[in-house]
Amino acid sequence: MTIEEIQNEIVDEFSMFEDWEERYQYMIDLGKTLPLIEEQYKTEDHIIKGCQSKVWVHAEMNDEKVQFTADSDAIITKGVIAILIRVFSNQHPDDIIKANTDFIDEIGLKEHLSPTRANGLVSMIKQLKMYAIAYQTQLN
Protein backbone atom coordinates (compact mmCIF):
# COMPACT_ATOMS: atom_id res chain seq x y z
CA MET A 1 0.00 0.00 0.00
CA THR A 2 1.09 3.55 -0.63
CA ILE A 3 1.45 6.07 2.17
CA GLU A 4 -1.66 7.90 0.95
CA GLU A 5 -3.71 4.68 0.90
CA ILE A 6 -2.66 3.89 4.48
CA GLN A 7 -3.48 7.44 5.57
CA ASN A 8 -6.94 7.18 3.97
CA GLU A 9 -7.49 3.87 5.74
CA ILE A 10 -6.64 5.50 9.09
CA VAL A 11 -8.99 8.42 8.38
CA ASP A 12 -11.77 5.92 7.62
CA GLU A 13 -11.06 3.98 10.81
CA PHE A 14 -11.15 7.11 12.99
CA SER A 15 -14.39 8.28 11.37
CA MET A 16 -16.13 5.16 12.73
CA PHE A 17 -15.81 6.48 16.28
CA GLU A 18 -18.31 8.96 17.65
CA ASP A 19 -16.19 10.68 20.26
CA TRP A 20 -12.61 11.20 21.32
CA GLU A 21 -12.83 8.82 24.23
CA GLU A 22 -13.38 6.00 21.73
CA ARG A 23 -10.60 7.32 19.50
CA TYR A 24 -8.16 7.46 22.42
CA GLN A 25 -9.05 3.86 23.26
CA TYR A 26 -8.43 2.91 19.63
CA MET A 27 -5.02 4.64 19.73
CA ILE A 28 -4.17 2.74 22.91
CA ASP A 29 -5.13 -0.50 21.14
CA LEU A 30 -2.97 0.47 18.14
CA GLY A 31 -0.08 1.07 20.52
CA LYS A 32 -0.37 -2.55 21.65
CA THR A 33 0.22 -3.70 18.05
CA LEU A 34 3.34 -1.54 17.60
CA PRO A 35 6.39 -3.37 16.22
CA LEU A 36 8.49 -2.98 19.36
CA ILE A 37 12.02 -1.74 19.29
CA GLU A 38 14.68 -4.13 20.55
CA GLU A 39 16.01 -3.32 24.01
CA GLN A 40 19.47 -2.58 22.59
CA TYR A 41 17.98 0.47 20.79
CA LYS A 42 16.31 1.93 23.88
CA THR A 43 19.14 4.39 24.29
CA GLU A 44 19.55 8.16 24.30
CA ASP A 45 20.61 7.97 20.63
CA HIS A 46 17.16 6.67 19.70
CA ILE A 47 15.02 8.95 21.87
CA ILE A 48 12.96 11.51 19.99
CA LYS A 49 13.81 14.94 21.32
CA GLY A 50 10.89 17.25 22.00
CA CYS A 51 8.51 14.62 23.36
CA GLN A 52 7.08 14.90 26.85
CA SER A 53 7.16 11.10 27.13
CA LYS A 54 10.06 8.89 26.20
CA VAL A 55 9.77 7.65 22.63
CA TRP A 56 12.44 5.48 21.08
CA VAL A 57 12.58 4.87 17.33
CA HIS A 58 14.89 2.66 15.33
CA ALA A 59 15.06 2.49 11.54
CA GLU A 60 16.59 -0.05 9.19
CA MET A 61 16.72 -0.26 5.43
CA ASN A 62 15.64 -3.50 3.74
CA ASP A 63 15.10 -3.83 0.00
CA GLU A 64 15.22 -0.03 -0.40
CA LYS A 65 12.41 0.42 2.12
CA VAL A 66 12.68 1.88 5.60
CA GLN A 67 11.36 -0.25 8.45
CA PHE A 68 10.67 1.37 11.78
CA THR A 69 10.28 -0.05 15.26
CA ALA A 70 9.46 2.01 18.33
CA ASP A 71 8.28 2.11 21.90
CA SER A 72 7.12 4.69 24.42
CA ASP A 73 6.65 4.83 28.15
CA ALA A 74 3.19 6.43 27.76
CA ILE A 75 0.16 4.63 26.33
CA ILE A 76 -1.30 7.52 24.29
CA THR A 77 2.11 8.41 22.89
CA LYS A 78 2.66 4.76 22.03
CA GLY A 79 -0.58 4.91 20.03
CA VAL A 80 0.54 8.06 18.23
CA ILE A 81 3.89 6.59 17.18
CA ALA A 82 2.09 3.37 16.17
CA ILE A 83 -0.05 5.39 13.73
CA LEU A 84 3.01 7.10 12.27
CA ILE A 85 4.93 3.87 11.93
CA ARG A 86 1.95 2.24 10.24
CA VAL A 87 2.01 5.06 7.68
CA PHE A 88 5.76 5.30 7.07
CA SER A 89 7.21 1.85 7.72
CA ASN A 90 8.01 -0.35 4.71
CA GLN A 91 8.04 2.64 2.38
CA HIS A 92 10.74 3.99 0.08
CA PRO A 93 12.72 6.85 1.68
CA ASP A 94 11.75 9.28 -1.10
CA ASP A 95 8.04 8.57 -0.52
CA ILE A 96 8.44 9.19 3.22
CA ILE A 97 10.26 12.47 2.60
CA LYS A 98 7.60 13.74 0.16
CA ALA A 99 4.58 12.52 2.15
CA ASN A 100 2.24 15.05 3.63
CA THR A 101 0.68 14.44 7.00
CA ASP A 102 -2.69 16.13 6.42
CA PHE A 103 -4.40 12.97 7.64
CA ILE A 104 -3.42 13.98 11.20
CA ASP A 105 -5.58 17.09 10.89
CA GLU A 106 -8.34 15.10 9.17
CA ILE A 107 -8.67 12.75 12.14
CA GLY A 108 -8.39 15.72 14.53
CA LEU A 109 -5.43 14.26 16.37
CA LYS A 110 -3.33 17.39 16.84
CA GLU A 111 -6.23 19.42 18.26
CA HIS A 112 -7.05 16.67 20.78
CA LEU A 113 -3.54 16.37 22.16
CA SER A 114 -2.09 18.56 24.87
CA PRO A 115 0.28 21.24 23.49
CA THR A 116 3.32 19.27 24.67
CA ARG A 117 2.04 16.05 23.05
CA ALA A 118 1.24 17.95 19.84
CA ASN A 119 4.84 19.22 19.82
CA GLY A 120 5.97 15.65 20.38
CA LEU A 121 3.91 14.52 17.39
CA VAL A 122 5.70 17.07 15.19
CA SER A 123 9.05 15.87 16.57
CA MET A 124 8.16 12.24 15.79
CA ILE A 125 7.28 13.09 12.18
CA LYS A 126 10.51 15.10 11.79
CA GLN A 127 12.59 12.23 13.16
CA LEU A 128 10.99 9.62 10.89
CA LYS A 129 11.61 11.89 7.90
CA MET A 130 15.21 12.48 9.03
CA TYR A 131 15.81 8.72 8.98
CA ALA A 132 14.33 8.63 5.46
CA ILE A 133 16.61 11.47 4.34
CA ALA A 134 19.65 9.63 5.70
CA TYR A 135 18.69 6.43 3.86
CA GLN A 136 17.83 8.32 0.66
CA THR A 137 21.33 9.82 0.72
CA GLN A 138 22.78 6.31 0.89
CA LEU A 139 20.75 5.23 -2.14
CA ASN A 140 21.95 8.12 -4.32
Catalytic center residues: 51
CA distance 67 to 61: 6
Chain centre distance of CA 19: 22
3-state secondary structure 88-125: HCCECHHHHHHCCCHHHHHCCCHHHCCHHHHHHHHHHH
CA distance 132 to 14: 27
